[in-house]
Amino acid sequence: MLNAEIIAIGSEMLTPFRTDTNSLWLTERLNALGIEVRLKTIVGDDEARLEEAVRDALRRSEIVISTGGLGPTEDDITRKIFARVLKRRLVLHDDILEKIRARFVKRNVPMPEINARQALIMEGATILPNGNGTAPGMMITEGRCTVVMLPGPPREMRPMFQGTVEPVLRERAGDLLILRRKLSILD
């Protein structure tokens, strides 16, 4: 049975005002594929802590899925940290940059130049298109580990996972399923 680890990224997730619903939803989807989630971690926007969490996850898990930190601002460090840990360059993809610009044009708003950071893709990664936002996800295999980076907003993350990631993981997991029952006993 494959095992997975989920890393939710963003300092806002460490406040009492946000709940990490992404990890709950991903756990349900992964379990349905026969993949056991063994660890969930929430890491703030701290480079050293995130790098430590990513290195540990890659060492112990067969699937590592991160959510959040793919936006355009300085505190969106996910792509940079994963690239550093995996020793891969980030490469600007002009086609993604044009798609991001087109989203802003469609809304009749000029694109802030900082949004160009979202077109930086890790060398060798599969690009996960984002039909509901500007941040594409990424998927890459590193040794025995499948690494998936998803955006944080659920309306972007969920369709990306279902449309692109889930079929790959279903094939990797094979025919094994995890079934759970909840038994409630009332006095």
- Rounded (5°) CA angle 79-42-36: 95
Count Cβ atoms below 10 Å from residue 186 Cβ, excluding itself. Answer: 3
Name the nearest CA neighbour of 9 among 63, 64, 88, 59.
64
Give the per-residue pLDDT at 174: 87
Average pLDDT of 22-29?
Answer: 97
> Per-residue pLDDT for 135 more than 80?
yes
Instruction: Spell out the long-range contacts of 17-25 with Cβ–Cβ below 8 A and sequence spacing 24 or more.
Output: 21/154, 22/67, 22/68, 22/150, 22/152, 22/154, 22/157, 23/67, 25/154, 25/158
pTM of whole model > 0.85? yes
Q: For residue 36, what are its two tokens?
A: 């056991």
CATH numbers and ranges of domains, the chain: 3-92+118-173 (3.40.980.10)
- Going by pLDDT thresholds of 50, 70 and 90, the confidence category of residue 137 is very high
Count Cβ atoms below 10 Å from residue 90 Cβ, excluding itself. Answer: 17
What pLDDT digit, counting tens, does each position of 171-182 carry? 999 876 666 677
- Find residue 42's DSSP bridge partners: 8
Q: For residue 163, what are its two tokens?
A: 């449309």
- Rounded-to-integer distance, Cα 28 and Cα 89, Å: 33
